[in-house]
Amino acid sequence: MKRLPLPTLIGLFITGLFLFTAIFAPLIAPFGVSEVVGDVWEPASAEHWLGTDNIGRDLLSRMIWGGQTTIFVAIAATVVSFVTGSVLGLFAAVVGGWLDQLMSRFVDLIMAIPTLIFALVVLSVMPVTIPVLILVMGLLDSTRVFRLSRAVASDIAVMEYVESARLRGEGRAWVIFREILPNALSPLVAEAGMRFIFMVLFVSTLSFLGLGVQPPAADWGGIVKENKDGIVYGIPAALLPAVAIAALAISVNLVADWVLDRTSSLKGGRNA
Amino acid sequence: MNSLVLKLLVQRIALGLLLIFLVSIMIFLGTQILPGDVAQSILGQTATPESLANLREELGLNVPPLERYLNWLGGVMHGDLGTSLTNGRDIGASIADRLGNTLFLAMWAAIISVPLAITLGLVSVLYRGRWPDKLISAVTLSAISVPEFMMSYILMYYVAVQLGWAPSVAMLNDRMSLLDKLHAISLPVAVLVMVVLAHMMRMTRAALLNVMQSAYIETAELKGLRRASVIWRHAFPNSIAPIVNVVMLNMAYLVVGVVVVEVVFVYPGMGQYLVDHVAKRDVPVVQACGLIFAAVYIFLNMFADIVSILANPRLRHPK
């Protein structure tokens, strides 16, 4: 294993820091998530490092708790998206025929509707809870994973070793999970980084519109919504989540770029 | 124009219309046959059985789904988008003005961003690997990493509040002159420009670089032409088709970006109308807005394909 390039190290470090803060939020956050501890929009002080929010809650604590919610929802939605998208995509590539056509055309149809618009349409009749959010975001996004994994798997499915596995009489599940999946994994892992960032932006946007994570739970999009009125009085509280999201997005991108570089130079080989 | 091009165009347009029809089914299914009862979720857990029954009647939930869909579709075909549940007004009338406002906003964003993106794309290919390219690349990468609404507030904080150069909310009324209107929408337009600019510039750069690898570019370089004229005279004309495609895809993206930006700047457009009524669970309005947004999106994508069919010389002269 070669030494990691500097941008990747920085990316890994910042991503790790965010994950660490999210996991240990209860130990790190100085105050509770909806604990009112001071006046409205207090400036930064020794006690409240980032000041307080629109109803006097500690902003640093809100940011930490909010990060936990945002990152958790984004990871869960990415997992839903990946499991659904890649299993169906690999299946479609291996089976082929009319079933593949049917699934591919259905995915084309879903992708003809802008994701945010479709999510809004669905959320207008569903109760807005975290499991529903995760499912809606994950399933809508799985269309992209489906396309990618189907494309990658179609290339692999015609390789000799897959053919020989078929001729040996292996079942469909073996071909998908033991022959194709390990070789399709690298591009999918790189894509996972991109999907995760997209999910962070997506859930933040929904929460900002008031249709995502519901108060009093905190999440980064919601913190912007709560504090946006301060902007006109020159209070920058609403800008903090923007910094957090940008830092997370850029650092995950740096790591994903490295994964992509590494895999494209390996040309699908393992243990190189 | 020959019969092959014509055939492809007719096919593409037919596909677009078919897509819009299928999308209308998807949007209808999405709001009507999901687990749970629409009336129940509109009224919440505390609803009385009587009010539930009334709302079901009003929404036509007692009629079978297929018939309900056909009624809705028939109405939409005649320009009747139904009435809003929350204020009982005709949806078509409420949408007309707002659609105009939204298109006004998107149009100005397009007018500014398209030439800018193409110029920046050309510049970054010209200085490929040197600092102007890296600078443009870094700036656009960070622009993609920040969601629209956050970019809006950053601009609002620094430009509108700290510097006082532009209003922080974008209100429009009929008595305003065009210049006043442009001043009012300057910040939302700036945000939309930044959002699509990043995508469009990166894709333009990629399209140009792709063409730059062709053999005729090498010939032009070996002839001793300057790099700028190689790009301008040889690479650019041949990448017009992919660039137009890129532009159209981004215009389609603009249609979605508008939703969030309108909410931030309290702009009286379609996006804000849609989001407001999603929160109020006003299903007929959500269906109508969703269908319009999806239709605009599909049309722009279709237009992108049509341009690339027309711009492909190989199709004009079939063997």
Handedness of CA A93, A99, A105, A109 (dihedral sign): negative
In tens, the pLDDT along A199-242 reads: 998 898 888 888 888 877 788 888 888 888 777 777 777 788 88
Which of B31, B147, B256 is opposite residue A201, by nearest beta carbon? B147
Is the pLDDT reported for residue A78 higher than 90?
yes
Residues 6+ apart with CB under 8 A from B35: none
Q: Is the pLDDT of residue A176 over 90?
A: no
Residues B230 and B226: their CA atoms lie apart, in Å, by: 6
User: How many Å from the N-terminal Cα to the C-terminal Cα in chain A?
Assistant: 8
How many Å is the Cα radius of gyration of chain A? 22
3-state DSSP: chain B helix, strand, coil percent, rounded to 5?
80, 0, 20
Q: Is the ipTM of this complex over 0.95?
A: no
Would you call B274 an interface residue with chain A, using a CB distance cutoff of 8 Å? Answer: yes
Tell me which residue of B143, B124, B126, B144 sits closest to B134, measured CA to CA: B124
- pLDDT < 70 stretches in chain B: 1, 32-46, 59-62, 88, 166, 168, 170, 172-174, 312-319
Residues in chain A: 272
Instruction: Identify the band that residue A271 occupies on the pLDDT scale cut at 50, 70 and 90.
Output: very low
pLDDT above 70 coverage of chain A, percent: 90
Kindly list the residues of chain A whose beta carbon comes within 8 Å of any beta carbon in chain B.
Answer: 109-110, 112-118, 120-127, 197, 201, 204-205, 208-211, 221, 224, 228, 231-234, 236, 238-239, 241-242, 245-246, 249-250, 253
Is A66:A220 a contact under the CB 8 Å cutoff? Answer: yes
Residues B300 and A106: their CA atoms lie apart, in Å, by: 20
Q: Are A118 and A206 in contact (CB under 8 A)?
A: no
CA-nearest residue to A245 within chain B is: B146
Q: What is the pTM of this model?
A: 0.83
The residue of chain A nearest to residue B22, with distances taken between CA atoms, is A109
Contact A200, A133 (CB under 8 A): no
Nearest chain A residue (CA) to B32: A125
Q: Which residue has the tokens 């390789």?
A: A159
Position A156 scores a pLDDT of: 84
- Cβ atoms of B104 and B261 closer than 8 Å: no
Asked if B137 reaches chain A (Cβ–Cβ under 8 Å), the answer is no
Chain B interface mutation, best of A41, A124, A254, highest count of B Cβ atoms under 10 Å? A124
Q: Closest Cα to residue A31, out of A57, A68, A54, A51?
A: A57
Decide: A195 and A141 in contact? Cβ < 8 Å. Answer: yes
pLDDT, tens digit, 9 for 90 and up, residues A3-20: 778 888 888 888 888 888
Which B residues, 142 through 161, put their C-beta within 8 Å of a C-beta on chain A? 142, 145-151, 153-154, 156-157, 160-161
Angle subtended at Cα A193 by Cα A190 and Cα A199, rounded to the nearest 5 degrees: 145
**Helix runs in A25-129, H state only:** 25-28, 59-95, 97-111, 115-123
